[in-house]
Structure 1
Amino acid sequence: MKRVLRKTKSEPTIALINIVFLMLIFFMVSGTLARPLDASLSLVRTADLEGRAPPDALMVHADGRLTHQGQDISAPANYLATLPEAERQGPVRLIPDRELPAADLVRIAAELRAAGAGQVMIVTERGLE
């Protein structure tokens, strides 16, 4: 009896490599959407500007104390009571101290939501280093 040898077809890997290479070139060319800045242009530096907190924000100190415009607030619900009805439905800005524990920040934000705040926004410092 004769043994039948089967030939295995080889995968066209060269075609696959060519396609991947062409896709790479396409994305390199089409990925350049923004033009580079002019070499003579120097950007404004804002690192030395004095930042100011929003005037309507509730500040949370490191010890958990709440203040609004320099006056102590005993509870987050009391802060919402001082706001007009239209501002309660809008975003309530909360400025936490860097040393405030995260659990306290989450608790205060939850108390604001439970008291009727429409949205709680946490104001942070943004720096590019």
Structure 2
Amino acid sequence: MRRVPPYRRARGEPEIALINIVFLLLVFFLVAGSLAAPLDRELSLVRTESLDGRALPDALIVRPDGATLHRGEATTPEAYLEALAGRDGAPRVARIVPDRDLPAERLIEVARALQAAGAAEVHLVTERVPR
């Protein structure tokens, strides 16, 4: 008499689940990366070595010729501060992203204009240099 082997259930391939997870992570990072507003392409950041990094949610960009930009459009320090004040009643913290070749005198002018317009704090955003 012939024996019939017991029915074996086919196992799913575990690689499929791993591929699905990797694909979902790829899509997530593509979407998250495209949501951030890009900086001006002609901007080269000032380098520092040992400062704590801060997020760049909404900054005033100062180009080498002294022109100021906010979200890609030309603006003044006063108009930039008004745009920050429109969101909520919190103290206005201004963030300046200067070009590396910007003269220091122009950077000081912009910072003083922000303070005169009512900025509670003025932060300078730079590039961290790896050691």
Which TM bucket (shorter chain)? 0.5 to 0.7
Match of 2:78 in 1: 77
CA RMSD of aligned residues (A): 2.2
Structure showing greater relative contact order (alpha-carbon pairs closer than 8 Å, 6 or more residues apart)? 2
TM-score (norm 2): 0.53
Aligned residue pair count: 78
TM-score normalised by the chain length of structure 1: 0.54
Task: Give a deviation string over 1:34-66, Cα, whole Å, max 9, x none.
Answer: xxxxxxxxxxxxxxxxxx662411100000001
In structure 2, distance between residues paired with 1:126 and 1:78: 29
- Structure 2: segments with no counterpart, 5+ residues: 1-37, 40-55
Residue number in structure 1 paired with 2:60: 58
Gapped runs of 5+ residues in structure 1? 1-51
What are the residue-to-residue correspondences of 1:104-115 with 2, within 5 Å?
104-115=106-117
What CA deviation, in whole Å up to 9, does each residue of 1:65-120 have, x standing for no partner?
011111110x2111111223546724211100000000110110011001000100
Match of 1:32 in 2: none
Distance 1:112 1:87 in 2: 17
Q: 1:59 to 1:115 in 2, by over 3 A?
A: same
> d(CA) in 1 for partners of 2:80 and 2:106?
17
Structure 1 stretches of 4+ moved >3 Å: 85-88
